[in-house]
Amino acid sequence: MGSLDDAKFTETSIVNNFNPLDPEEFRKQAYQTIDFIVDYYKNIETYPVLSQVEPGYLRNSLPTTPPFKPEPFEKILKDVRTQIIPGMTNWLSPNFFAYFPATVSTAGFIGEMLSTCFNSVGFNWLASPAATELEMVVMDWFADMLKLPRTFKFSGSGGGVIQGTTSEAILCTLVAARDRALDRIGGNNIGKLIVYGSDQTHSTFVKACKIAGILPGNVRSLPTTIDMDFSLSPYVVRAAVETDVANGFVPIYLCLTVGTTSSNAVDPIDQFSELASDYGTIWLHVDAAYAGSACICPEFRHYLNGIERVDSLSLSPHKWFLTYLDCCCLWVKNPSLLIRALSTNPEYLKNKPSELNLVVDYKDWQVGTGRKFRSLKLWLVLRSYGVENLQSHIRSDVRMAEMFEGFVRNDSQFEIVVPRRFALVCFRWNPDSGLVRNVELMNRKLLDWINSTGQVYMTHTIVGGVYMLRFAVGATLTEEPHVIAAWNLIKEGADALINAR
């Protein structure tokens, strides 16, 4: 019995000594981690941009069960270096030209650290007054930078909220539009509700419609054409709306895009003002996830002309505004519609400031209840860099994209497929050679060749039936030499494929 008692005492002592937040141990490991991160950023060009591992590589190398005893932190960091990094597609590499960028910065990182430090779960004002009020301030600041009307600001009649992603922003506004319509026509008529986007609208729109209960057959994906650079035609939208209304349907939502994912097409917001007036039941939302950040620059602000006539606008600072994922800004002209659709009021969350309508409770502006203190990182970015430097950051990326566009235009073997907007160049290899008969196949092979080198990562798209390569400039560490090297690699790949035939 004595040995058993000793074992119990030893086990109890271990449990009682467990301290998951020892200040000095935290300081030590945090310094080690910062050093690790800095070294990763400094050496990021030594890693393949696109991970070269095979499926299952990590599952096959890690133990099948968790450790029973604690492991040294140094060993864990070593495993991050040797096992995790090889399986990373390095979005922060200066040679990452795929998708849209996921920009970062010192200020954004520090803001993320502080947000994680406080671990605030700011579902309502009382849970974290600073988190709520800073978000309100930052959203009004950003609105001023974009020259949004007062109807989108807390200092006016609207307001803004930081969502996680554009998907959430679209879903929240779609649910608000749905409930506004059902309040008028009755909940049993959800099958009559119609929503609209273009064939270039992000796929998250269709997903949001599914979640919101919009029938799949009631989601209109309207065609775009190369004649309009794949932007949405107001005439096409009006014709579709008139047909649906004549057939007894109720149009409730139109998603416009400033900077489509495939080709950076821009829907002309100001040309939809009459539609908004004639059909007051249609909620106009503008998805400017990537390109919206550029509109802080006067030379790009015209892409938001007509924004005063829409109901909501969203853009994602985590894409091009040096603010770590996740951070999506959503402004709404009539917050009460959002709150009415999304609010919950359980007894355990009731409090005097909320009951007296003296405060904003952000749980009623989003799908979930809990939320991070996201405004801290955006606040640090705005304060640390100021509008002037943020504009310079945007313009630098655009200049590098213009340079790459020039390379393409000056080479007879390549062509620009759609006009460049912002910092995305859509092009293809189209040599005047009898050796190349299937242009799409050869462009697919070229892209595979480029990405297989690990030196550069690019993606493709198909717009108007044309397969094209996308070159998106914007990674925080990208400089002109990286763009030049990427172009030389692309030409090398084209030559290699020609010579191999």
Cα separation, 228 vs 307, whole angstroms: 20
**Model pLDDT, residue 1:** 42
User: Would you say 91 and 102 are in contact if contact means Cβ atoms under 8 Å apart?
Assistant: yes
**Model pLDDT, residue 474:** 96
SS3 57: coil
pLDDT (tens place) for every residue of the chain, 501 residues total: 445 455 454 555 555 689 999 999 999 999 999 999 999 999 999 999 999 999 999 999 999 999 999 999 999 999 999 999 999 999 999 999 999 999 999 999 999 999 999 999 999 999 999 999 999 999 999 999 999 999 999 999 999 999 999 999 999 999 999 999 999 999 999 999 999 999 999 999 999 999 999 999 999 999 999 989 999 999 999 999 999 999 999 999 999 999 999 999 999 999 998 888 888 889 999 999 999 999 999 999 999 999 999 999 999 999 999 999 999 999 999 999 999 999 998 999 999 999 999 999 999 999 999 999 999 999 999 999 999 999 999 999 999 999 999 999 999 999 999 999 999 999 999 987 555 568 999 999 999 999 999 999 999 999 999 999 999 999 999 999 999 999 999 999 999 998 887
DSSP designation for 289: T
Neighbouring-strand partners of residue 251: 194
- Beta strands of 337-495 (E only): which ranges? 414-416, 424-429, 459-463, 466-472
**308: number of Cβ within 10 Å:** 15
Task: Give Cα 65 distance to the centre of its chain.
Answer: 35
Burial of residue 315 (number of CB atoms within 10 Å: 0-12, 13-18, 19+): buried
User: Would you say 400 and 270 are in contact if contact means Cβ atoms under 8 Å apart?
Assistant: no
Beta-carbon contacts of 9 under 8 Å, excluding residues fewer than 6 positions away, are none
Per-residue 3-state assignment (H helix, E strand, C coil) for 108-153: HHHHHHHHHHHCCCCCCCCCCHHHHHHHHHHHHHHHHHCCCCHHHC
> Which H or E element spans position 160?
strand 159-163
**Model pLDDT, residue 435:** 57
**Model pLDDT, residue 2:** 47
User: Would you say 312 and 285 are in contact if contact means Cβ atoms under 8 Å apart?
Assistant: yes
User: Would you say 115 and 371 are in contact if contact means Cβ atoms under 8 Å apart?
Assistant: no
**Model pLDDT, residue 358:** 94
**Model pLDDT, residue 275:** 87
SS3 488: helix
Cα separation, 291 vs 300, whole angstroms: 9
Neighbouring-strand partners of residue 428: 415
